[in-house]
Amino acid sequence: MFDALLLKTFVAVVDEGGFSRAGERLHLTQSAVSGHLRRLEEQVGKPLLTRTTRSQQLTPDGQRLIAYARGILALHRDAWAELTRSAFEGSLRVGVSEEFAEARLLRELQDVAAQYPGLHISVQVGIPGSLLSLMKQGELDVVVGSLCESSEPGLALWREPLVWAWSAQPLAALPTPLPLALFPEPCPYREAALLRLAQAGIAQRTAMQCASYAALHAAASAGFAVAPMAQSQVGPGLAVLGAEHGLPALPDAEFRLFSAPDADPRMVEVVTQVVVRYGAARRH
């Protein structure tokens, strides 16, 4: 019989592309993650990953097991939800940052609500700093968003580079002062971008203040302004600018889930699983 914890670690390593990120997602040390994988391989009697200093790839046996592992864990989630559905009644107020306001995540939350007929989920979209303030005021139960270099306590989900996005059209030279497209305060990407430019002595101006990612993308893809955004948000029509263009490196965007002290921990776990699945799908 497979240990569900070992399977969960195995899936996390595959989805996150490494042991350290899997550890962040599961709140485990890298050595604990390695230990789980070693125990699982001992149970199977075959290697599941081929490891190098920079990456790991699934072996043929690992490719076969990953599909079963996902199915077993899904059955665990379904059984748990079925047996506890009567315990969830009332409302769950979820705050999500602008970049999470996608149909895929909303469908996942809708599926959760369908599992628990007595549960009503409402979603508020906003800037992480503002959403966290609302949660502290008792107006939200869970907040999902990203921060940069913050000590704000929360469940680490994943991280990815924060980059400078600009039009994919050929670039001769960046304008001076540098035109920026930014969300209003308190936005972690705005704060990180302005700080790094100030430290590098690069003059800037806010050319466009945006209320949505659609506006941010439009400003960058048109070449109207440079926009700081998470790398996964860089889509068609956009290119990443870097040191070769004279721009300083930005910190990672750290995606986290925050919950109010009085939020139902079982419901928080359900939302966490939804967001983790969404994040894994978004990065592949």
What's the confidence (pLDDT) of residue 282?
66
Mean pLDDT on 3-29: 85
DSSP 125: E
Closest by CA position to 196, among listed 243, 233, 232:
243
What's the confidence (pLDDT) of residue 172?
78
Cα 207 to Cα 226: distance, rounded to the nearest angstrom: 9
Q: Which residues contact 224 (CB under 8 A, 6 or more apart)?
A: 179, 181, 207, 208, 218
Cα 198 to Cα 284: distance, rounded to the nearest angstrom: 34
pLDDT at 66 over 70: yes
Cα 119 to Cα 108: distance, rounded to the nearest angstrom: 14
Per residue in 257-283, pLDDT (tens digit) is 999 988 888 788 888 888 887 777 665
- Confidence category of residue 53, pLDDT binned at 50, 70, 90: low
For the chain, domains (ranges, CATH) are 4-84 (1.10.10.10), 88-284 (3.40.190.290)
Yes or no: say if 258 and 157 are a contact pair by the CB < 8 Å rule. no
Q: What single-letter amino acid sits at 161?
A: P
- Confidence category of residue 156, pLDDT binned at 50, 70, 90: confident
Closest by CA position to 171, among listed 248, 250, 246, 249:
246
Which segments of 145-243 does DSSP mark as H helices, in order?
188-200, 213-221
- Measured CA angle at 258 (ends 87, 6), to 5 deg: 70
- Measured CA angle at 270 (ends 266, 158), to 5 deg: 120
Cα 278 to Cα 213: distance, rounded to the nearest angstrom: 18
Closest by CA position to 93, among listed 258, 282, 279, 276:
258
Helix (H) or strand (E) holding 222: none
pLDDT at 125 over 90: yes
pLDDT at 161 over 90: yes
Q: What Rg, from alpha-carbon coordinates, does the chain have?
A: 21
Cα 73 to Cα 242: distance, rounded to the nearest angstrom: 40
For the chain, how many residues are written? Answer: 284
What's the confidence (pLDDT) of residue 210?
92
- Confidence category of residue 157, pLDDT binned at 50, 70, 90: confident
- Tokens at 152, concatenated: 């704000």
